[in-house]
Amino acid sequence: MEELEKNTCSKDCESSDKLFDELGVDTNMPDCELREMPRYECHKMVWALKIKSILLDSDVAKITNRETTGGARITPEESDYSPFEVNSDYMKKHNPQVGGYYVVYKDGYQSFSPADVFESGYTLITNYSWMAFPQDRDLGRSKLKLKYDR
């Protein structure tokens, strides 16, 4: 394991220590040692589609002269998958961007991940056996709509 760097920040520490002392907080950090937080490696299995385009419902609503739902229609890069709708809560919370990934976790939670973050953290599973995990097949199909059901 790499050795952690030790920084001293005497002025900042002195003022922080004084405040912590006044508040009765025990810092237990000799010489104001700044340490790297523990590291974690991701090992989750997710379903994901790279986003080719996003059509905001607000744009459609302007043209059709109606109220917007606040949702959007996402078109995946993968041509085997149809465009699909996401609701306004998804749009507000995740603010998906073209080029990033629409992600569904095993518990059904839907999220967005920028391409660089997703691609550095996940590897495409090409030899996954649906026979070994049939419950995952149903989840994958229900969350990521197949254009052609094979």
- Segment 21-35 shows an average pLDDT of 66
pLDDT computed for residue 109 by the predictor: 95
Domain count, the chain: 2
Same domain, 123 and 66: yes
Q: What are phi and psi of 25, to 5 degrees?
A: -95, 130
The answer to whether the CB of 32 falls within 8 A of the CB of 13 is yes
Does 5 score more than 50 pLDDT?
no
For the chain, state the CA radius of gyration: 23
Q: Which domain holds residue 30?
A: 7-39
Same domain, 20 and 90: no
DSSP structural state of residue 65: T
Q: Where does the pLDDT of residue 146 fall: very low under 50, low under 70, confident under 90, or very high at 90 and above?
A: very low
Same domain, 21 and 50: no
Alpha-carbon separation of residue 115 from 11, 30, 48, 57 (angstroms) = 41, 40, 11, 23
Is residue 148 a part of any domain in this protein? no
Same domain, 33 and 57: no
Helix (H, G, I), strand (E, B) or coil at 17: helix
pLDDT computed for residue 136 by the predictor: 56
pLDDT (tens digit, 9 = 90+) per residue, 69-127?
A: 999 999 999 999 999 999 999 999 999 999 999 999 989 999 999 999 999 999 998 87
107, HSE (Cβ side, Cα atoms, 13 Å): 3
Integer Cα distance of 48 and 65 in angstroms: 33
Nearest CA to 118 out of 42, 6, 24 is that of 42
Is residue 1 a part of any domain in this protein? no
Is residue 18 a part of any domain in this protein? yes
pLDDT computed for residue 35 by the predictor: 78
Integer Cα distance of 43 and 46 in angstroms: 10
Query: How would you class 33 by CB atoms within 10 Å of its CB: exposed for 0-12, middle for 13-18, buried for 19 or more?
Result: middle
Nearest CA to 73 out of 94, 62, 58 is that of 58
Is residue 63 a part of any domain in this protein? yes
Give the position of tokens 């629409």. Answer: 102
Same domain, 103 and 34: no
Same domain, 16 and 50: no
Same domain, 81 and 63: yes
pTM above 0.75, yes or no: no
Same domain, 135 and 70: yes
